[in-house]
Structure 1
């Protein structure tokens, strides 16, 4: 484990000189709130290193050495967003193996499956719910973490060759560039939407007022306890409590039996605060987005969907890689406006 500045300094020349680099991360999202980056795995020729971000290291020299490289990752979306939030890190380019597998038509594209299918190596699924903030890591956790990057280089070589053979390497390069671009954007949180958990759309405005207050209470509790919010109360329970309170029925039977008395009091206080709000302060219900398409738009959308599905079947890939249903609807409404959001290879497939 690289957990000191001296060890990190010894790694840097090897990273800068490496012909290739594979990268992965681990966080503690199942055990802490907010989540934090707990481990960075780096494979390079002849070594598989684990870097400890919790050891108060100055990681800026390492991240700078990684920034200008073409990094190999699998399921990179989560890792790139985590590194962007934690350190402002955005790589110059990546080779994303999951995306490569999907563009080749693999129906199962998890790392374990691809390593078994292409490299004939059986990987243990490993401690997927482990607390990566614990120290020291168990040997099983160390092995699992190293395996996440150890096989990425040979896997990427095989996938790259197949993409080139099928004439899809350019598709992959463009898709990886879009992925890096998307992950570099920090999405602002809308305070009027963040508390609208699954099921909130069933509530009337009074119930939404209660839900908002309950969500804020739970978020504070989760931060204080350093536990994920669902450890405090599940989304479904929040919605059920909000609905019952707005209807004037008792909420006590909806609370988990083991919920501590202090938290029961917190729930009741949050509900009472919401019920005291005047109707003018109740949140508005989310309106259905967009308008109903007219007959011509529906016909254009059907034609685009038929073309997309035909091309996807010919290529043996998931049709949504070419365009999602929402994208097709937007294109049918105004092709000139929304076609710019397509990647070049997607646009070409939809036009021919």
Structure 2
């Protein structure tokens, strides 16, 4: 909005002293109502995903900016606000680092998720604040290195605004959810965010190297593995984002070249990065391990729980392809009618799985049970199961004789 109000705040300070932290906790205990919470990390700069700043705002208490590395244990704060409703924007992004310091909500109101369920065109915090509150919220520090100390005053003002506007935003969104009859939908989605378990670590995380599929499954692939492991160990030790030491493209270039000597590795122009030469012995040792190992990685095969990409279904499972296309088209109509993004109406992977391997008897009840087993929420099942069942049946039917079909 061109006439959006600009929201200004006084200068902020970070609470890094334990005594000051306990004073702030006492003041937050005197506040009332929901608690706005946000966290800032240093993604892209640090190896860890820990919080380097935690912001808390509560009506009747004020705004507090906490320094997690300095404070360490947040149990006193958890005991004061743990039972309150926490208001976060994109809660799933912040909950892991909050839980790492002992902060874990019982209930949340996720303003980003609420905006999605309402069908708002843009769901970033700045966009939603401007849309509903008429306030322009600058977001120029969202990708900053929050491990920086001391934190610049402009960063602290930005961080404080992220929580000070959340409660008013929550109230505006709650009104819209009620007007659209989506209160129960939102409540189920918010509960799912809190209950969602973290994914277990990958068994072979090195396989996520960008460009690794261009390598043959031989010692070149072994070199990529050893180089990734060497980089990961150094990044963890220094608490630096791995890509800032040596980028993926450099590791892949070295693995593809498989140099025969330390000198050849040093001469490889494509092997770049700030630690590519200062840690040359480390990288050469990784190459040597790859050359000597008997543990040669095989080409990764799809696990038994992995579906083929839908683009290949027409050849591999034509009936599943017909079911998926028919159901997706039908659900798109519901999503448009309800002003809910298709991916929020039903997790795309859930639809793919029931399309690939549907129940023996295709009925709304059996489809609903299959979706529930995958983790779909009750509201999603209510809105989609019958439509999916009908689409599966109709999409599988052969056209009547003499009826023209689309090519």
Deviation string for 1:264-291 (max 9, x for gaps)? 332222112102222xx11222223336
Residue 311 of structure 1 aligns with which residue? 334
Q: Post-superposition shift, 1:194?
A: 4.6
The aligned runs of 1:190-339 (5 Å cut-off) are 190-206=202-218, 207-245=220-258, 252-256=268-272, 259=275, 261-278=277-294, 281-288=295-302, 289-290=306-307, 294-332=317-355, 333-334=357-358, 335=367, 336-339=369-372
| Correspondence for 2:403 | none
- Aligned-pair CA distance for 1:25: 0.6
CA distance in 1, matches of 2:370, 2:138: 47
Find 2:188's aligned residue among 174, 182, 196: 174
* Inter-partner Cα distance in structure 2 for 1:14 and 1:331: 51
Shift in Å at residue 221 of structure 1? 1.9
* TM-score, reference length from structure 1: 0.90
> What residue in structure 2 maps to residue 83 of structure 1?
98
1:345 to 379, 388, 393: 379
What is the CA distance between 1:21 and its match in structure 2? 0.8
| Secondary structure in 2 matching 1:37 | coil
- Which runs of 5 or more residues in structure 2 are unaligned? 1-13, 359-366, 388-407
CA shift, 1:83, in A, is 1.6
Instruction: For 1:96-245, list aligned pairs within 5 A.
Output: 96-182=110-196, 185-206=197-218, 207-245=220-258
Q: Counterparts of 2:247 and 2:82 in 1: how far apart (Å)?
A: 39
* Long gaps (5+) in structure 1: none
Cα distance between partner residues in 2 of 1:275 and 1:253? 21
Structure 2 Cα separation of the partners of residues 193 and 131 of structure 1: 25
Pair 307,257 (structure 1): closer, same or farther in 2 beyond 3 Å: closer
- Over the aligned positions, Cα root-mean-square deviation in angstroms equals 2.3
Please give the secondary structure, in 2, of the residue aligned with 1:347: helix
The partner residue of 1:38 within 32, 52, 59 is 52
Equivalent position SS for 1:314: helix
Distance 1:170 1:130, change over 3 A: same
Structure possessing the higher radius of gyration over alpha carbons: 2
Q: Contact (CA 8 Å) 2:28, 2:80: kept in 1 or not?
A: yes
- Equivalenced residue count is 346
Q: Quote the Cα distance in structure 1 between the aligned partners of 2:165 and 2:231.
A: 41
Q: CA deviation at 1:166?
A: 0.5
Distance 1:256 1:300 in 2: 48
